[in-house]
Amino acid sequence: MTYEELLQAPVKIHSGRTRTWGISREVADLLYQNATAQSVTLETGSGRSTLVLLHAGVARHIAIQPDADEFDAICQFCAAQGIPTAALEPVIARSQDYLPHATLPALDIILIDGAHAFPYPFIDWYFTAGALKAGALLIVDDVHIATGTILADFLEGESGWDRVARNRRFAAFRRGSERLMPSNDWKGQPYLATSFPTSRAILIPERPKGLIERAAGRYLPWRVQERLRRRYSWVRN
């Protein structure tokens, strides 16, 4: 099976083998073109991206996702098409559970494409980025989802990351040579310091309580007080 045939193959991996969540052609090409026989790669999630990296013949590929049947489907497809799977290291777990305690090898490619709900992409990045070699590739897929957008925007502002490509579907970066040291102070992170300046915050002064409100707070049961607060927009005690 050629690479082009692999991209068009009607393989079923996800949702009980009823469909396969796709990756864009650009992401597939980035994976395939940057993978070598010496590459050690990692992805959160699994699917056609897993097939692309196995077809490219990487030395070791760690895929992390909680559905064992997805790995079975991948291995069965590969066996039928003559794609070696010896490099595949399936981790049947949620990435947010596995990665904080994992000891990762030095990585040449990371694909963040697992759970997209908050805060999982950030957890995936935080616990894998330190293992990425200088000059190696990080891909954040599905940047049309807010969590992907925020992570990509954050990396755009950090000095340790150089953008390779970005469109409405994904963003790709190469890790710089400097040591990654996330700032403990939000003002040291350009994305936070420039995107959300504190000058935008509007402080609303508290309206002082009137005589009736003070009396109600002193003498009435709290359930009655709550109903009065909701009805008349009283300030809480």
pLDDT in tens, 224-237: 767 777 777 665 55
Considering the domain architecture, whether residues 47 and 164 belong to the same structural domain is answered as yes
Task: Work out the burial of residue 186: count CB atoms within 10 Å of its CB; fewer than 13 is exposed, 13-18 middle, 19 or more buried.
Answer: exposed
Considering the domain architecture, whether residues 145 and 220 belong to the same structural domain is answered as no
What mean pLDDT, rounded, does the chain reach? 89
Across the strands, what pairs with 140?
112, 171
Considering the domain architecture, whether residues 48 and 82 belong to the same structural domain is answered as yes
Considering the domain architecture, whether residues 172 and 209 belong to the same structural domain is answered as no
Considering the domain architecture, whether residues 157 and 216 belong to the same structural domain is answered as no
Considering the domain architecture, whether residues 163 and 115 belong to the same structural domain is answered as yes
For residue 81, the model assigns a pLDDT of 96
Q: In angstroms, what CA-CA distances link 230 with 146, 172, 223, 225?
A: 34, 49, 11, 9
Check the CA dihedral 69-115-109-18 and report its sign. Answer: positive
Considering the domain architecture, whether residues 213 and 145 belong to the same structural domain is answered as no
For residue 214, the model assigns a pLDDT of 73
CATH code, 33: 3.40.50.150
For residue 198, the model assigns a pLDDT of 58
Considering the domain architecture, whether residues 52 and 140 belong to the same structural domain is answered as yes
For residue 197, the model assigns a pLDDT of 56
Q: What are phi and psi of 155, to 5 degrees?
A: -65, -30
Residue 17 has pLDDT above 90, yes or no: yes
Considering the domain architecture, whether residues 105 and 221 belong to the same structural domain is answered as no
Considering the domain architecture, whether residues 112 and 213 belong to the same structural domain is answered as no
Percent of all residues in the chain with a pLDDT value above 90, rounded to a whole number: 70
Considering the domain architecture, whether residues 142 and 83 belong to the same structural domain is answered as yes
Considering the domain architecture, whether residues 192 and 217 belong to the same structural domain is answered as no
Domain span at 173:
3-198
The structural domain count of the chain equals 2
Residue 15 has pLDDT above 80, yes or no: yes
Residue 64 has pLDDT above 60, yes or no: yes
